[in-house]
Amino acid sequence: MSSFLHQRPLYSTLSDPSPLSPRQSSSSQRQISLFSRTGLIALLSLLLILGVILPWTGTPSIFSTTKPSSQTKWQQYTLSQAVSFVARNNTVIVCAVSQPYLPFLSNWLISISRQKHQDKVLVIAEDYATLYKVNEKWPGHAVLVPPAPDSQTAHKFGSQGFFNFTSRRPRHLLRILELGYNVMYNDVDMVWLQDPFPYFEGNHDVYFTDDMAALCASFCTIPLDHKQFDIYVKPPDHSHDLPPPGKKGRTYICSCMMFMRPTDGAKLVMKKWIEELQAQPWSKTKKSNDQPAFNWALNKTAGQVDLYLLPQAAFPTGGLYFKNQTWVQETKGKHVIIHNNYITGFEKKIKRFHDYGLWLVDGHSSESPLGKL
């Protein structure tokens, strides 16, 4: 570079030994002015502006070889941002999913799409693989609330992993209520057959379903888990009040399907649920899950909260819907959300959905916002 900065006068390479004329000299100097001290300084200044100053102003540098990471973007995506993005009519539909359950998520979403409510769905990802996959296919509809559980396995009901996974749920829901939104929560081993929102009538704080499936008074008897149990069937006009406690001193309400309004009562239930989970942690001798704590929270706040039990015919437990075909025929046309519970095991749940024509992924993946996974 120093040879350019300290250039000697140029001479003609022709045979004529005489120097260039003044006109020729002036023209030549204009042509090579880029290589003068002034030209080089100007060039370096331009490079400095393009390569350094513009990135600071948010304008991509033309010399940049790196692209912003989409993964970094979703790591910084907050729950409040996500809820604001998906909410419709101040309402969000929430589920919590880890990577092994992505097929169930897609199946659930197909059924929701058929009821035209998919736009308000928010997937709370419980691992980064789920966060990236959902937002790759359906940008903005998944968020991760740190810290995420480490395991990527499908946890068995009653395991410590299952407890760690489900015990995060009330904190997520409480935060959404505190942001001022109505929130509906579903487990993804559910299928919608009809629109559930007309059933959230009135202005109650918390709407929920009864998970009682086996009792001593019923209309029919069937084998359940290799034992004889009576299938519990409520009368069609059953009360919408919180049912009376069972043998363990608490009710048996399902924590897997609920609708809440952003009221003080609903927030109180969530806070109490968190307290009960902290008071009854999982141990090898007492393999807790989140549902007993939810029922204790309901029972202990019942006098302060406006609770509403949804109709059993519309929201049946899996222990009733998949075990009592007589009842299913008698209530045909009334079923709204079917829960594939009262069975454990990833493959067993899929097979049961297959057997009842409720596994939609194989033939209808195009109806899922996630497409074919």
Out of 55-64, 129-138, 168-177, least confident range: 55-64
State residue 346 phi and psi, 5-degree precision: -55, -55
Considering 173-182, 274-283, 343-352, the range whose residues carry the highest mean pLDDT is 173-182
Give the model's pLDDT for residue 139. 97
Q: Which of 156, 127, 212, 99 is nearest to 348 (CA)?
A: 156
pLDDT surpasses 90 at 265: yes
Who contacts 195 (Cβ-Cβ below 8 Å, separation ≥6)?
Answer: 115, 116, 117, 336
Instruction: Measure the CA–CA gap between 355 and 358, rounded to whole angstroms.
Output: 8
User: Quick check: 289 and 169 in contact, CB under 8 A?
Assistant: no
Q: Which of 333, 309, 212, 328 is nearest to 259 (CA)?
A: 309
Instruction: Say what the pLDDT of residue 222 is.
Output: 40
Beta bridge partners of 338: 191
Which of the residue ranges 21-30, 138-147, 248-257, 260-269 would you say has the lowest mean pLDDT?
A: 21-30
Q: Is the separation of the CB atoms in 215 and 232 below 8 Å?
A: yes
Backbone region of residue 245 per phi and psi (left: phi > 0; alpha: psi in -120 to 50; beta: other values): beta
Could you tell me which of 164, 142, 129 has the C-alpha nearest to residue 95? 142
Q: Report, in this order, helix, strand and coil percent for the chain, each rounded to 5.
A: 40, 15, 45
pLDDT band at 278; cut points 50, 70, 90: confident
Is the preceding peptide bond at 147 cis, omega within 30 degrees of 0? yes
| Fold annotation for 69-367 | Spore Coat Polysaccharide Biosynthesis Protein SpsA; Chain A (3.90.550)
In angstroms and rounded to an integer, the radius of gyration of the C-alpha atoms of the chain is: 32
Structure-block tokens of residue 363: 């033939």
Asked if 365 contacts 106 with a C-beta cutoff of 8 angstroms, the reply is yes
pLDDT digits (tens, 9 = 90+) for 329-358: 999 999 999 999 999 888 999 999 999 999
Count of helix runs (H) and strand runs (E) in the chain: 16, 12
The domains of the chain are located at 69-367
Give the per-residue pLDDT at 70: 67
Separation of alpha carbons 23 and 21, rounded Å: 5
Task: Please report, to the nearest 10 degrees, the dihedral formed by the alpha carbons of residues 153, 159, 165, 169 taken in order.
Answer: 150
pLDDT digits (tens, 9 = 90+) for 229-264: 567 899 999 999 999 998 888 899 999 999 999 999
Residue 257 backbone dihedrals phi, psi, to 5 degrees: -145, 120
